Amino acid sequence: MDTTALSPDVESVRHSPAPRLTLSGIAKSFPGVRALHDVCLSLYPGQVTALIGENGAGKSTLVKILTGIHRPEAGEIRIDGEAVVLGSAHEAFEHGITAIHQEAVLFDELSVAENIFLGHAPRTRIGTIDWKTMRANANEVLTTMGAGHIDADARLKDLGIANKHLVAVARAMSIDARIVIMDEPTAALSAKEIEELFLLIEFLKSDGKAVLFISHKFDEIYRIADRYTVFRDGEMVGEGLLADTDQSAIVQLMVGRAVDRIFPRRAANIGAPVLSVSKLSHPTEFEDVSFELHKGEILGFYGLVGAGRSELMQAIFGITRTSGGEIALEGKTIAPRSAADAIDAGIVYVPEERGRQGVVIGMSIFKNVSLPSLKRTSSSGVLRLKQEFDLARFYTRRLDLRAASLSQDVGTLSGGNQQKIVIAKWLATVPKVIILDEPTKGIDIGSKAAVHGFMAELVEEGLSVIMVSSELPEILGMSDRVVVMREGRIAGIFDNKGLDAVRLVETAAGIGSA
């Protein structure tokens, strides 16, 4: 891609009009986590600004602030120079801000026209919905956008994801939105559909909308955006014109200084292969995945969101079916058909979504810990409460869990402590391989360090760990080797000796290889 030649278009971007939207000094924190700190951002009419950053950099929090779902604790939002408060989703809507999400948030059972005009449908004189006008207006909006092929009467659920995006954009047009946020809109689209989406973004630009485009994919960013803003760890670390900046400079901004946190030192004592996966495939999520995990090793899995890492791990754990390939544990082929099979074989999985898939909120700590080990804490189906308590006490102590009582509901604990319980519950099954999916996502620094320290202890005891993580410092700080996945395939396996963060990001994003 040629990014050096300045087209007339770039010249016009240089002489930018006054910004449509400016954020300054925005701060937002959640219990134990500082999500955004002193963030600035400007969006210009008729221009696309790409928001770039690692997972956890604060992009989604920013979108939620702009759409009125979260309120910032400090800072100012100005639209056309005028300070505004976005106190609710409705107020954001009134100010002409609309967001198009990864998964379109529309109403499947309603028609296209109803979706476009929901909340501002044209009315007849007696106050009922004027269907004829609504249908005509819908057709008009769709035709202006070049989406005349969509039937205004079609049910939304019968449309493909790309057409749903078009409907979402049509909705934005119909309310005369001035600021359009696109949060990874291409994540679920085919190459052809992406082209159509880009035509549409061009249309929005020519119509004078200010567009915020969030994507992990550099080719898309360079293709469609005029400006970029880079976030790292909740702060804005750089912005500018894409025409003046090459990819590696942006990657450098995203990554920042290499490992700037302290990770536990440990003596790598790596043994024979424990888990070998060969040519594992799934109908839609991943293909031809082969790797080996050794005894006492931490194998990092890095990649962009949607690279198929979690799906791969769920397949190894028996929750997702595979379409081919083989999994062998200590030389024996296994074919886990359920989580129970995998647990029996000695593979456990600490899922990414702690609240939904991990802890059972509403149950006490000890019941959570013993849940996958009920066979061991009962004899002929009858539970031995003392054994259960002993098991829970032993493992929660090992993880340094702070709780008043083991009978306490896990819902009363902080995220970090909940994560400790999820890990404790899996350790209690005495596994051979433990898969941790984003083990420190959304937990405070102290608990992060505790989880990292504990992982180091585990591998020293001879357990093998797979760590799926989108946090570069964590990947570089903890892994012995790193597997990088891209679009469902393994894009590279690296020894973590002098491994460069930039190289990982470039492999994950497909820069330089494609």
Partner 1 sequence: MKALFDIREVWLAAAIVAMVGLVSLRFAGFAHPGNLAQLFNDTSILIILALGQMVVILTRSIDLSMAANLCFTGMAVAMLNAAFPAIPVPLLIGVALAVGLALGAINGLLVWKLDIPSIVVTLGTLTIYRGATFVLSGGAWVNADQMSPAFIGFQRTQVLGIPLLSWVAVTVIAVFFLVMTRTALGRSIYAVGVNPTASVYAGIDVGRTKFIAFCISGLVAGLAGYLWISRYVIASVEVANGYELNIIAACVIGGISIAGGIGSVGGAVLGALFLGIIASALPVVNVSPFWQMAISGSAIIMAVALNARGERKQGRVILRKAEAA
Residue 413 within binding range of partner 1, rule CB under 8 A? yes
Is the Cβ of residue 98 or residue 368 nearer to partner 1 in the bound state?
368
**What b/e sequence results for 27-51 when a residue is b if at least 16 CB atoms lie within 10 Å of its CB, and e otherwise?**
ebeeeebebbbebebbbbbbbbbbb
Q: Is 69 exposed, middle or buried (0-12, 13-18, 19+ CB in 10 A)?
A: middle
x/- letters, 128..167, toward partner 1 (CB under 8 A)? ----------------------------------------
Closest residue by Cα to residue 138 from 121, 158, 156: 121
Shortest distance in whole angstroms from residue 429 CB to partner 1: 9
- Please give the order of strands across the beta sheet that includes 433-437: 347-350, 433-437, 464-468, 298-303, 481-486, 489-495
- Among 319, 406, 449, 502, contact with partner 1 (rule: CB under 8 A): 319
Residue 382 within binding range of partner 1, rule CB under 8 A? yes
Contact 198, 224 (CB under 8 A): yes
Shortest distance in whole angstroms from residue 305 CB to partner 1: 20
Q: For residue 183, what are the β-bridge partners?
A: 214
Is the Cβ of residue 172 or residue 343 nearer to partner 1 in the bound state?
343
User: What value does the CA radius of gyration of the chain take, rounded to a whole number of Å?
Assistant: 25
Residue 187 within binding range of partner 1, rule CB under 8 A? no
**Phi, psi at 4, each rounded to 5°:** -95, -40
Is the Cβ of residue 374 or residue 445 nearer to partner 1 in the bound state?
374
Q: Give the interface segment with partner 1, choosing from 159-167, 174-182, 287-295, 365-373 (CB under 8 A).
A: 365-373
User: Which ranges in 358-466 belong to alpha helices (H)?
Assistant: 365-370, 385-398, 415-427, 445-460
Shortest distance in whole angstroms from residue 278 CB to partner 1: 25
Is the Cβ of residue 16 or residue 320 nearer to partner 1 in the bound state?
320
Q: Is 302 helix (H, G, I), strand (E, B) or coil?
A: strand
Residue 351 within binding range of partner 1, rule CB under 8 A? yes
Residue 378 within binding range of partner 1, rule CB under 8 A? yes
Residue 411 within binding range of partner 1, rule CB under 8 A? yes
Going by their DSSP bridges, the two strands 227-232 and 235-241 should be labelled as antiparallel
x/- letters, 28..47, toward partner 1 (CB under 8 A)? ---x----------------
Please report, as ranges, the residues that interact with partner 1 according to CB under 8 A. 31, 317, 319, 338-340, 342-343, 349, 351, 356-363, 367, 370-372, 374-375, 378, 381-383, 385, 402, 409, 411-414, 417, 425
